[in-house]
């Protein structure tokens, strides 16, 4: 019964004919271009399938922790990747966090807390403790990852009691750990981040007032 279920699953995802061909490749002495084609096709299908399984597991973990991601698919995939990377080095995002897109150009990301220092809710109707906004105009995915990690570290630092200033010792130590372990470039300010279609700033007009 288990073998039948496996065959049905493989047939639905169109892997069965390629796996059959792969079996003949490994158990036959001749190697041709056709065999190489089928081998690459099977590996590509396996990569896509494993990636989809990984995202499903991460989505279940995110829903269990009370995290909500209301962004486009590009930002959503990057946020999921950053969350898993941070958890791999022991930095866990707080529960009840809302990730949302931002249309700002110069402000690449922001993190707002829905709690006062004494634990009271700023807005009791909002079912989240933190709200994180990420600009949708950032061009490079690596810059988006840095901004997402930057804002998640703010949420972690505030949940640990760092409220006075945003970039104090706790935040800086976590940023150094992320940069050293994961190869990120988390900085206090993003100076060299490219955005698409930034509007030109209008020149301020000088107005002269004459009084009698």
For residue 63, the model assigns a pLDDT of: 55
| Tokens read off for 103 | 């249309």
- Interhelix angle 73-88/141-159, rounded to 10 degrees, is 60
- Does residue 206 surpass a pLDDT of 50? yes
* Pick from 111, 72, 75: nearest CA to 93: 111
Beta-carbon contacts of 113 under 8 Å, excluding residues fewer than 6 positions away, are: 122, 129, 130, 155, 158
- DSSP structural state of residue 209: -
Which tens digit of pLDDT belongs to each residue from 152-180?
Answer: 999 999 888 777 677 888 899 999 999 99
Q: Are 158 and 61 in contact (CB under 8 A)?
A: no
């Amino acid at each position: 019964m288990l073998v039948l279920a496996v065959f049905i699953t493989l047939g639905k995802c169109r892997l069965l004919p390629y796996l059959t061909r792969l079996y003949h490749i490994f158990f036959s002495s001749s190697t041709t271009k056709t065999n190489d084609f089928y081998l690459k096709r099977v590996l590509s299908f396996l990569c896509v399938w494993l990636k989809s399984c990984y995202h499903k597991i991460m989505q279940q973990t995110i829903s269990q922790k009370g995290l909500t991601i209301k962004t486009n698919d590009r930002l959503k995939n990057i946020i999921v990747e950053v969350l898993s990377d941070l958890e791999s080095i022991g930095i866990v995002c707080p529960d009840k966090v809302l990730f949302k897109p931002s249309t700002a150009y110069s402000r690449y990301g922001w993190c707002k807390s829905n709690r006062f220092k004494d634990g009271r809710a700023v807005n009791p109707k909002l079912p989240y403790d933190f709200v994180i906004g990420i600009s949708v105009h950032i061009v490079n995915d690596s810059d988006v990852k840095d901004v997402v990690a930057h804002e998640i570290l703010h949420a972690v630092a505030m949940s640990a009691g760092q409220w006075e200033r945003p970039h104090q010792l706790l935040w800086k130590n976590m940023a150094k750990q992320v940069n050293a372990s994961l190869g990120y470039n988390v900085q206090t300010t993003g100076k060299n981040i490219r955005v698409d279609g930034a509007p030109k700033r209008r020149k301020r007009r000088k107005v002269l007032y004459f009084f009698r």
